[in-house]
Chain A
Amino acid sequence: MDKQLRHRILMVSDFYYPNFGGVENHIYYLSQCLLQLGHKVVVLTHSYANRSGVRYMTGSLKVYYMPWRPFVLQNTLPTIYLSLPIIRTILIRERITVVHGHQAFSTLCHEALMHARTMGYKVVFTDHSLYGFADVGSIHMNKVLQFSLADIDQAICVSHTSKENTVLRSGIPPEKVFVIPNAVDTAMFTPAHKRLDCDTIVIVVISRLVYRKGADLLVEVIPEVCNLFPNVRFIVGGDGPKRVRLEEMREKHSLQDRVDMLGAVPHAQVRSVLISGHIFLNSSLTEAFCIAILEAASCGLLTVSTKVGGVPEVLPDDMIVLAEPDPYDMVQAIKKAIHMLPFIDPHLMHNRMKSLYSWHDVAKRTEVVYDRARQCSKKDFLHCLSRYLRCGAWAGKIFFLVMLLNFLLLSLLQIWQPWENIEEVPDMELTQDQQEDIQLNS
């Protein structure tokens, strides 16, 4: 690829491997596919336990584990300014052109975006979750998001519902927000070779057992379904504070032999749990996209899900049965799914998923966003500052001062450690066979 057209991308988020989840997966797969498209990708996250410093992953994906301890919920302590020197050094060393932050509640992401904007880099942000507007936590988060997105070049959301949400929360023009969904590694989630018989129907649930994932709905739905269909079994994978309630329910209705509680399932074993079932049940109360549904569908399972957030956009209507988040409606949906089951071919479903979702497609679409970001006119810092003033009567002035101080600190750093003195990292050029090797593997 032409050297001029290459992007040099820094992905920033508090959430990255060895932690597991939707955002972590997204960053990893997106980076891998972007590397294959010929761009340079560097990931920045905080340290995990003793994993600190620089690591290399598949395809020479460079990961900076910043030596900062997580503070709460895998987030670093929000210090606003203290991360400036290290992020500045990384940006200069790696000759970054685009900074891409992930996840609205990652403090590291917000700080990096702020520093990058002060230094005049192009910034892109991906929002992976939905927020309300009513409670104190959401109001605070929305204000932070407004600050981060005030001067953003382009933003990405994972579903159309998420786009509506982000536009409302941050007040940026909708043309700046792209919708690029997550994808699924269909090669990893393949259906079982032998088709399961339909004598006993197994319903699989894999989710953290917390309120937001609708564990309380499960407590109501499972006994009802077991009562209606004597040939249905449940497998519940996942752990969390609501596990006790589920176990109580199992005890109360004497369903020990029909409801398996597996506890937390490592991501590597998710497929083997999924392929032992016919139906995947998702009971989330809020969800921007839900990768779990993709994984289940890719394994050839029929999905029953609550109709919340972006879930209705995720799969075609004949691959998913949607229900309102209320126990009666969910039982009806499961009933419908059980009747649909004989007409479902897992391998056909898997092949359809292959055509519907691919990380390569996601990377190509993200590339377009980077191109657009590059085309955005370069503005001087003072002009950008005025945008912060428009963020609100009080908040605007605070944001303005925060950015101004950041700029002063940056100037100070420039005197103390001029960027000419920072050594640039030579690019690692993969040989032809190495590249082919990676392409074969993925």
Chain B
Amino acid sequence: METTEADTSTYHPPWRKVAYGGMQPGYDDNYTDETFLEELVMNANVVKRDILKVMQDSVSISQYLCIVALVVIVWIHTLDSVIGEGSLLLLDAFLLGLGFLILLLTTSQLSFKVLSKYLLNIVFFTCGLFVLAPVYHTLTRSISSDSIVALTISLLILHLFLHDYSGYTIRPLGCAKNPNLASNISLNASIVASVLVASRLPSRLHVFAIVLFSLQVFLFSPLITFCIKKYSFKLHLCFSFLLISMTLSIIYFLHTMSFVIFSSLLVFISAVCPYMLIKIQVYKFEINGPWDEAKLCFDITD
């Protein structure tokens, strides 16, 4: 707090950064000392980002996009009556089995009790769905198909926007954090979308099969991918690449234009976006100083 600006003719005590004692002799109230903004700290907490790391993290998004794309393909084919209800039910059973297998292999603390609880829940869930299928079947009869398609697409976009790509929609074992509000809204949007699609199908069994399929994917796939990622990041990457290449090849055989659009979207997400994120880091400007609200160093939730 030393000042060099002391007048030689009349002696002034050096300026001090204090508010008491009235106006400091020799210094106006708008006097700006050299120490002004001395305690300003810039970019103290900025994390240096590595492009490879960001790209690896973006794989989760691409992976989930592929899952949703696959669901949409199944929907379209069911609506076009390419896939029958029998094969749909088989698909449901296969996915359920696969999901449990992955869960068993990746989660260490899975006991028989927990597993039986899961199974019981699924049985209840399936029965409920089966009973409700006739309701879903006639739910949107008075609404035109165009509106349903438009609504479904917008709901899916909402779902993708709000989805928690690093988290889960169902709490896995050993995780304390509950899913947040945005991810719950996202889940609900996806459920409504699948019910809307199902209501356009010809028979009750179709409806049951397609809703079961969609719910399995939207509810449990984030859980499964989360478990895989927690188990091993390499496995997660392999699984994602497998899924991405599978989706791309399926789309390629179905529709070339969609393939181009979808693959460019994937490139945009996992290469262009991370690159742009790294580029704009230069503009990051964080200011800290004594005026900041103090952070408590202990947990106040208990």
Contact = CB atoms under 8 A, between A and B. Distances in A.
Contacts of A338: none
B29 A286 contact: no
B286 A158 contact: no
Contacts of A131: 291
Interface in B252-302: 286-287, 289-294, 296-298, 300
Given A168-B37, A179-B29, A220-B298, A160 B19 contact: yes
Contacts of B292: 132, 286
B19 A159 contact: yes
Given A217-B296, A313-B20, A164 B29 contact: no
B287 A313 contact: no
A310 B19 contact: yes
B126 to A, nearest CB: 44
Contacts of A365: 22-23, 29
A164 B30 contact: no
A285 B294 contact: yes
Contacts of B293: 130, 132, 212, 285-286, 308
A277 interface: no
B82 interface: no
B21 interface: yes
A405 interface: no
A357 B29 contact: no
B291 A178 contact: no
Nearest to A372: B30
A361 interface: yes
Contacts of B17: 160, 313
A303 interface: no
Interface string B21-40: 11100001110100011011
A356 B24 CA distance: 11
B18 interface: yes
B300 A308 contact: no
A133 B286 contact: yes
A313 B289 contact: no
Contact of B290 (A134, A177, A180, A308): A308
Given A133-B286, A325-B296, A369-B29, A361 B22 contact: yes
Nearest to A329: B297
B20 A130 contact: no
B297 A326 contact: yes
A174 B36 CA distance: 9
Contacts of A101: none
Interface in A232-290: 285-286, 288-289
Contacts of A133: 286-287
Given A164-B37, A313-B19, A315-B20, A308 B294 contact: yes
A102 B203 CA distance: 69
B20 A164 contact: no
A6 interface: no
Residue of B40, B289, B290 most packed against chain A (CB within 10 A) = B290
Using C-beta atoms within 8 Å of the partner chain, give the interface range for chain B. 20 to 34
A289 to B, nearest CB: 7
A355 to B, nearest CB: 8
Contacts of B294: 214, 285-286, 306, 308, 325
A161 interface: yes
Interface string B210-240: 0000000000000000000000000000000
Interface string A123-136: 00000001111100
A162 B291 contact: yes
Contacts of A164: 36-37, 39-40, 289-291
Contact of B300 (A163, A168, A216, A288): A216
Contacts of B20: 181, 313-316, 356-357
Interface string A352-380: 00011110010001001100000000000
A165 B291 contact: yes
Nearest to B37: A164
Contact of A161 (B21, B290, B300): B290
A175 B30 contact: yes
Nearest to A134: B286
Contacts of B32: 174-175
B290 A314 contact: no
Contacts of A355: 21
A179 B128 CA distance: 70
Contacts of A175: 30, 32
A357 B29 CA distance: 15
Interface string A330-367: 00000000000000000000000001111001000100
Residue of A130, A179, A326, A369 most packed against chain B (CB within 10 A) = A179
A361 B20 CA distance: 11
A309 B291 contact: yes
A216 B17 CA distance: 30
Nearest to A369: B29
A177 B291 CA distance: 17
Interface of B: 17-23, 28-30, 32, 36-37, 39-40, 286-287, 289-294, 296-298, 300
5 contacts: A164-B37, A167-B37, A181-B19, A365-B23, A368-B28
Interface of A: 130-134, 154, 158-165, 167-168, 174-181, 212, 214, 216-217, 219-220, 285-286, 288-289, 306, 308-310, 313-316, 325-327, 355-358, 361, 365, 368-369
7 interchain residue pairs of minimum CB distance: A181-B19, A325-B294, A165-B291, A178-B29, A286-B293, A130-B291, A313-B19
Given A130-B291, A179-B19, A285-B293, 8 more contacts: A130-B293, A163-B36, A164-B291, A165-B289, A167-B37, A168-B37, A168-B40, A326-B297
